[in-house]
Every structure is written in C-alpha cells, then in structure tokens.
A and B are shown apart, each in its own frame.
Chain A
C-alpha cells in the first residue's frame, strides 16, 4: 500500500506529508481549497501524467521553480520510495527505490492507479471518442502489444487522410492504405473486445447487488462503425476492407476516413435498451464506476500491484447507502482516496482516515 505522500510546490498545496489510510482516506473541504490538486499530485506521482492532461507549468506552484513529490510504498514485498522533481518546462527527474529512472515503466510495474472525477458519467454522455480513449488507455496498460498497433494505425490513418485531402486521389494508393488499415485495425478491435470481455467478467459479480433483478440483462456491446455490427472479431478485417472498398467514393467526396476502429464505440445495454435513459443518472454512474473499478482490478490486484483508486467527488448524486456499498467493495481490493464537499461522506466507511483541506493544507481530523 501507499503509506505516505510528500508534496512541495505542487499547485496551491503547501509543503506537507499526508499519511494514507490502508483502505479509505476521505479528504473533505469546500471548493477551491486543494482537494483535486492532492489527487492530481498522487496520480502524477504514480504515472508521471496529469489526469486532467494539465501542462507542467500549471502544476508547478507559482511561488517555487519546481514541484517536488514523493511517496513511500509498503507491503506486497515492496518497501520502496518514489520521488519526482517536476520543472516548469516539463522536465522530470524520477527516483525510484534509490535509482534514477527515465520513465514510469518500472514504477507502473508495482503501482496501479485509476482516477475518476464526477465526470465518470461522461462514459455515457460524451462522444464516442471519450469511450474509445477509456478503452484504449486500459488496453495500452494491459496489453503490451497494443501501443505498437495503435501507433501504426494512427500513422496509416494520417497518410490516408492526407491522400483523401488531395485534389486528385490515387485510387490504387487508397486501396493499399485501406488494406493496411483493415489489417492493423482488426488487431486493435481484437484487443478492445478482449478488454470489454475481461472488464465485464470483473463487473458481473457486483451487478446483482446494485441492479436487483436486472443484473443478468446488462451487457456491453462493441459498436463497429459503418454498420458492421454482428460481425465477429475474426472476420472484422476482411469485412472492414470490403466496406472501405465499397465506400471509397464517399470517403473521397468527404475527404475523410469514415470507417474503422477510430470511429468505433461501445454501448452499455439493459436487454435491448441502452442503459442511458433506461436507468437514472445515479444508476448509470454506479455502472460507470464499476467499469472503472474493473480496470483497476485487472491492472492492479490481479497482477499483485499496489492499487490506488482516486475518486474526486465521483459518488455525486448517489445516496449514502450506495456510496457506502461501493466504498466497501472498492476498498476490499484497492486503497481509496475520496475527495468530497459533503459532511455526510465522513460516514462512508467505519474504518477511514478523515482529512480536512483548507487553503492548500490537508490536516488529519480523525
């Protein structure tokens, strides 16, 4: 587990050491005091990235030339320390277990983290690109080969879009690029479908308690672009190539690549109905949280990694009973750090550390 977190020069947070509870740490306070900044600091420590994709000059305090962060990990046979210096220009110096390392690769071999804010509901409301990113980020971390295929797919796509943007399109070249897109695209689709299957396997045991009587009807379907639904993953490559060949003139006309994994989506269904609209916002939020949690289970505890779940007011709109149930389920497998503005969230668990935050200072209250 992550034991202590040391912060200096990160956004509005004052220099301090925060000891995390082995199961649940609740950080309570009004808006604009530093709750999200604290979660961002922990996430940055564990991944080298900001969950909000913030620039480094935004993360370093305006009062200091650099941010310095550290954490200690105990248990799982690991007893290590991680330190990061972050300069305003984005330069990072990472020290892990007494040695300087260039990337977070080694760190992420031991630590697994997930961050979700109240925006977790975007998984249902935002554009398909949000859902694709959600899937792809997991695939990148879980399947070692995924990034290579994804990079290659993006390169082919760029070339194809450039070709389609030309005054006169060489159809033979378009066909060759389509062949490569279909070949590499089918690999991406294979990984994404595998990921959905694995995530649902983890989510399923929880469905009966959160969605009484309808847990069995809930499923996640991968939605292929270009009406290829119903196609199996094995035959996808050939079918996509066939579709791309049939729709060549349309793509040339709109000067854009219209079909392929870069346009795919996934849909959560209850029977034949989409979950959004069928269930309330609160219930869809619960499902979104379970999906996120399933990723942490696969990346973290299943692989004997120290798992940390950072939830930034992610239980908004849920009643206290459901919040407590989720917290109990989550904290069984991961260390949860939860930030909130609500006093009632002090009761999220019988066994927790409560911190209050004011003007960047996080103080233990109980």
Chain B
C-alpha cells in the first residue's frame, strides 16, 4: 500500500490561504517542521487565541480585542473627521501614513451585485446614524477607485445628501517615486484632472 505523505494534512490546510499553491504550501509545511515544538505551539496558540478573541469594534467595526478599538478609544484624535473604508485592513494602511488623525468607519465590503453585495449587507445604516449624531464636520470616502468603490461612494453620497457635512474622497494620481512614462493612461488622466497649484 502506498504510504501517505505525513504532511498532506498540513499542506491541505495551508493551500486554503490566499496566494498559496501546492508548492508554497509544501515549502511552508517543511518550514514548520524545522521549527522547535515550542515555536509551533506558540504560533498555533496565538492563531487560535486571536481568532477566538477578535471582535468588531461596536462603534467603527474595526477589528479589536475590546468592545471599542484603539482608534475609537483615543480621544486625542480629531473627533470631527470620519474616514469611511471598506475593510479593516485599509485602516492599517492609512494608519501607516501617520497623516490621518480622525476616526474611521468600516463598511464591511463594497456594493457589488455580481458578488451579491447589496447596500443592506454593508454597515451603511450604522454610518448614517453616526453622522446624524452631528459629531462630524467632514466624511472622507476612502474607497478603492474601482467600479464597486465608485458605486459605493455614489450610494453613500446620495444617502448623506442634505447632511450638514463636507463629503470628500481620496485623490487619484501618480504613486510617489513613479515614472510618468510608466503610469497607466487612466491614472495619468486622473492625475492631470486633479492637479493642484504648485506651492
């Protein structure tokens, strides 16, 4: 009888991760074998603990171990600017810039009929409630410049029509350090139409 690969189970589980195929999964499986038992235990323990204890912030729906996330608990942040993102990972990206000091709201996705994502499946009503509290002067729509992102932004803008707030969205343009020659036409066009006075 053919002997079963003892790593089959691990490889099978690892291939469930995004961008991990059979070969990468096998490489990772052997990497785990090269670790000490204590290190593997620690890895597994943290993974399980994180999954079990992670919650969504009751205010902004960012991920958190506590009912309120670190951002919402930080009263030194500007409480009058709200940045709307699709997923919590985008908060991490914006936070890395140290440029934004306001609050966030995570929608939990973007409107996309193809993927079955309807407006009522997103946290739009919660967003409207927060805005109607009158706490915010500006709402920044930090959504991807895709059809889904644009549709969601337009939907939100129509929902927020009449609210005494300023609605802005992120600028499109050239990445820092990029060569104009290599920019795609659509990006270059957006960068040109959204140009600013040289200061």
| Chain A residues close to B by CB (< 8 Å) | 144-145, 147-149, 152, 155-156, 158-160, 162-163, 165-166, 170, 172-173, 176-177, 179-180
Q: Select B113's contact among A147, A149, A162, beta carbons within 8 Å.
A: A162
Give A177 to B151 CA distance when docked, in angstroms. Answer: 7
- Chain A residues lying within 8 Å of B186, measured Cβ to Cβ, are 145, 148-149, 152
Q: Select A176's contact among B114, B118, B158, beta carbons within 8 Å.
A: B158
The answer to whether A170 and B118 touch (CB under 8 A), given A148-B185, A159-B112, is yes
Give A221 to B186 CA distance when docked, in angstroms. Answer: 28
Is there contact, CB below 8 Å, between B189 and A145?
yes
What are 12 A-B residue pairs whose CB atoms fall within 8 Å in the complex? A145-B189, A148-B185, A148-B186, A158-B114, A159-B112, A159-B147, A172-B155, A172-B158, A173-B111, A173-B113, A179-B154, A180-B147
Interface members, chain B 100-149 (any A CB < 8 Å)? 111-114, 118-119, 146-148
Considering the complex, give the chain B residue whose CB is closest to the CB of A151: B186
Is there contact, CB below 8 Å, between A159 and B113?
yes
- Chain B residues lying within 8 Å of A179, measured Cβ to Cβ, are 154
- Chain A residues lying within 8 Å of B118, measured Cβ to Cβ, are 170, 173
Interface of A is mostly: helix
Q: Is the C-beta of B181 less than 8 angstroms from some C-beta in chain A?
A: no
Give A324 to B184 CA distance when docked, in angstroms. Answer: 44
Considering the complex, give the chain B residue whose CB is closest to the CB of A146: B185
Give A170 to B124 CA distance when docked, in angstroms. Answer: 15
A-B interface, 4 closest residue pairs, ranked by CB to CB distance from nearest: A148-B186, A162-B113, A163-B113, A155-B147
- Chain B residues lying within 8 Å of A176, measured Cβ to Cβ, are 151, 154-155, 158
**What is the 8 Å Cβ interface bit string for chain B, positions 172-199, against chain A (1 contact, 0 not)?**
0000000000001110010000000000
Q: Select B151's contact among A147, A165, A166, A180, beta carbons within 8 Å.
A: A180
Q: Is the C-beta of B150 less than 8 angstroms from some C-beta in chain A?
A: yes
- Chain B residues lying within 8 Å of A165, measured Cβ to Cβ, are 113
Give A170 to B117 CA distance when docked, in angstroms. Answer: 12
Q: Looking at the assembled complex, report how far the CB atom of A147 sits from the nearest CB atom of chain B, in whole angstroms.
A: 8
Is there contact, CB below 8 Å, between A170 and B119?
yes
Give A305 to B155 CA distance when docked, in angstroms. Answer: 47
- Chain A residues lying within 8 Å of B184, measured Cβ to Cβ, are 148
Considering the complex, give the chain B residue whose CB is closest to the CB of A166: B113
- Chain B CB count within 10 A is highest, among A147, A163, A176, for A176
**What is the 8 Å Cβ interface bit string for chain B, positions 7-42, against chain A (1 contact, 0 not)?**
000000000000000000000000000000000000
Is there contact, CB below 8 Å, between A173 and B147?
no
The answer to whether A159 and B155 touch (CB under 8 A), given A144-B185, A148-B184, is no
The answer to whether A159 and B148 touch (CB under 8 A), given A148-B186, A173-B113, is yes
